[in-house]
Each structure stands twice: as C-alpha cells, then as structure tokens.
Amino acid sequence: MAQRLFFSVPVPRVTQLALLRQQSALAQAGVRGRPVPAANFHLTLAFLGNVTASQKASLLERWAELVPPDLQLSLDTLHYWAKPGVLALGARRTPIALGQLASALQQDAAHHGLHASRQAFRPHITLFRGASALLPELPEQLEPPIILPCHSVELMLSENGPGGVEYHRLKHWA
C-alpha cells in the first residue's frame, strides 16, 4: 500500500515552545482555526505524495548520502493562504543552501513520477489550518523573529489517525 511521504526539517523543542507562544498570541488576537499541535510542527522541504514500497526503496537509495543543511532560518513573516486556510510563519529570506536542497528534492520527486510541486519553495511552518478568511488585523512582520536551527532532514510518513493527521519519522539525516 502506498504511503504519503514528505521530506522536512524537524523543529526542536525550544523552537516548538516559541511557535506555541506565537500561536497563542494569534488566537488571542482573534485568529480562528485548528491550531497545529506542537508535535506536528515541521518545515516541509518536499511533499512527495503517495509513494509505493518500491518507489520508497529507490528514493532512499538515491538519497542515501543526503547532506543536511547547516544553518539558522529566521522565521519573521506571517503568511495566510486563503484557499487551504493555512496561516503559517515564513521567512523573508530563503537561505541559498535550504532552497537548493528543497529544489533538488522536489525535482527528484517530479522526475521519478512522485508529486510535482507547482510552486517555488517558500519555507514556512504551518501554525493553523482551516483559518477563517476573516482574519483580524495582524502585524505581517514578526519582531523578533523565531529562529529555526536547520541541521537535519527527515523523511516523514503522514497518516490520518483518529485525532487528526499523525506524522511518523521513517529516516533521519543529521
């Protein structure tokens, strides 16, 4: 059976706590929607869609020597994407190494018949899903920014559990 997979950068506990504080501040400011649980915070590098067992085996072979980034991402901008109702914290500046890795993973996926991303990579961490179109006036820039240390990459499995979507780590590159 195919599995829904994606590559992401994990979020360490200290950053999770800062993101939770930001989520609470947004809820206090009147944002309505489903807050993403802290355990589900992640920075997606490439969404792969449904992947069969043999596709997964060759994916892992191709990326056996994946070199994770070694940088700090400054999350400083609020994004609202109305269609999926996503409220996310993004970055004004995409570090070159992070953008290159995301592009390489996305192109590899498309080239091997997996999900083809239509949009350019925009690093972000989703804070709310199903956020209403009627958002309160929010400051677009976050001051000070939240820093995400990016030193590892994970291949994640996304499953629908009884309490909502659940992510499971299949592999970790540090």
User: Which residue lies nearer to ligand 3AM by CB, 41 or 142?
Assistant: 41
String of DSSP letters for 33-99: SEEPPGGG-EEEEEEEEEE-HHHHHHHHHHTTT-----EEEEEEEEEEETTTTEEEEE-SS--HHHH
Whichever of 3 and 47 has its CB closer to ligand 3AM, that residue is 47
Among 158, 166, 171, 173, binds ligand 3AM (CB under 6 A): 158
The catalytic position among 79, 111, 115, 124 is 124
Binding residue (CB under 6 A) for ligand 3AM from 7, 41, 47, 128: 47
Mention every residue, 6+ apart, whose C-beta is less than 8 A from residue 124.
43, 75, 79, 88, 89, 90, 91
Task: Check residue 121 for interaction with ligand 3AM (CB under 6 A).
Answer: no
Which of 172, 148, 167 is CA-nearest to residue 66? 172
Asked about 111 being catalytic, the answer comes back as: no
Shortest CB 158 distance to ligand 3AM, Å: 5
77 binds ligand 3AM (CB under 6 A): no
One-letter identity of residue 139: P
Nearer to ligand 3AM, 76 or 167 (CB): 167
Answer yes or no: are the C-beta atoms of 20 and 38 closer than 8 Å: yes
Kindly list the catalytic residues. 42, 124
Residues that bind ligand 3AM (CB under 6 A): 6, 44, 47, 126, 158
